[in-house]
Structure 1
Amino acid sequence: MVIKIRPMTKSDIDDVIEIESLSFSVPWSKESFTMEVTKNKCAHYIVAEADEKIAGYGGFWVVIDEGHITNIAVHPDFRGKGVGSAIVEGLIDLAKKKGITSMTLEVRASNLIAQSLYKKYGFKPVGRRRGYYQDNNEDAIIMWKYDM
């Protein structure tokens, strides 16, 4: 399977919303993604294409010289096939091109698979946000990557 990373466009949003709703208990709305892709100058989003389908996506906001990863998700049919790795690599590459010197994200304390993926790319856990997730009051682990 060949995975292609490219910038997210407005025409990708319906596929992204499907992945979002399959991946998160409190998914972002179509309007939120549309604003991110068309209006938010700080936002940068990519999609991963595999087998001519949108297999996943990810994005970050530029805050001065830092990148704050807002979300990453992979369609259930494509999980465990390297799509998540390709997205993280794509986000890091894009961040470097934008002059980003460090990146951060929050991840559910229970999501050990995602934490392992982020650690593979040099993200380190540095803190915890208690009760961060609205749906179940779960804590978030704050992770940073400084060696861009």
Structure 2
Amino acid sequence: MSIYIRQTKESDSEELMDLNNLIWNKSNTPAFFYWESVEEYSKHCPVGKQFVAIINDKVAGYIGYKNPTGLKSNSHVLDIDIGVHPDFQRKGVGKALLNHVFSWGKKNGFVKISIRVLSTNRSAIQFYISQGFKEQEMLKDEFLIDGKFVDDILMYRML
């Protein structure tokens, strides 16, 4: 299986919207949302702020990136979010996306990658640990989801 990674294009928006609507739910994100239109999705996830993994001309996954604060003193940090289609999970797509952003981040002067993950998302936590991430901080009872408190874990990896 060949994985091609590139910057997002406008033509990816509908597939990315559908992927987001498929994979995100209250068990893995505190900001559960359902995109109703490509226009709505594109406002929140603009073209060029993600890399996509393409397999057989289909979007298999994506990794979004941004500076977490916009402050110059924090410009060495890259905050990421990642999503992989269920059909392609545990097949190297997430790892390929992370390796791509690690390389891209180094080339562009970033020295630290951070990601936030709910404590209930054990498989994601284990995946990030396997890719060299460490827990930086746990925000205890940060979210109230379906009547239950859930911790938010900030993880990081130095480049």
**Quick one: distance in 2 between partners of 1:28 and 1:84?**
22
Q: How many residue pairs are counted as aligned between the two chains? A: 142
Residue 113 of structure 1 is matched in structure 2 by 123
Correspondence for 2:150 among 123, 138, 143: 138
1:2 alignment partner, SS class:
coil
CA contact 2:17–2:41 (8 Å) conserved in 1: no
TM-score (normalised: structure 2): 0.79
Larger Rg: 2
Is 1:49 aligned to 2:54, yes or no? yes
Gaps of 5+ in 2: 26-31
Q: Residues 34 and 13 of structure 1: is their aligned pair in 2 closer, same or farther, counting only changes over 3 Å? A: farther
CA contact 1:132–1:140 (8 Å) conserved in 2: yes
CA contact 2:118–2:152 (8 Å) conserved in 1: yes
The amino acid that maps onto 1:37 is P
Gaps of 5+ in 1: none
**Quick one: distance in 2 between partners of 1:21 and 1:46?**
18
Q: Residues 37 and 145 of structure 1: is their aligned pair in 2 closer, same or farther, counting only changes over 3 Å? A: same
Q: Residues 140 and 33 of structure 1: is their aligned pair in 2 closer, same or farther, counting only changes over 3 Å? A: farther
**Quick one: distance in 1 between partners of 2:101 and 2:120?**
23
Residue 2 of structure 2 is matched in structure 1 by 2
Query: Residues 7-46 of structure 1 correspond to what in structure 2 (within 5 A)?
Result: 7-25=7-25, 26-27=32-33, 29=35, 30=38, 31-38=40-47, 44-46=49-51
TM-score (normalised: structure 1): 0.84
Q: What percentage of residue pairs aligned between the two structures are identical?
A: 28
Deviations 1:40-96 (A, max 9, x none): xxx731000012210000111035111011x21111111111111111111212211
Q: CA deviation at 1:124?
A: 0.1
Is 1:68 aligned to 2:73, yes or no? no
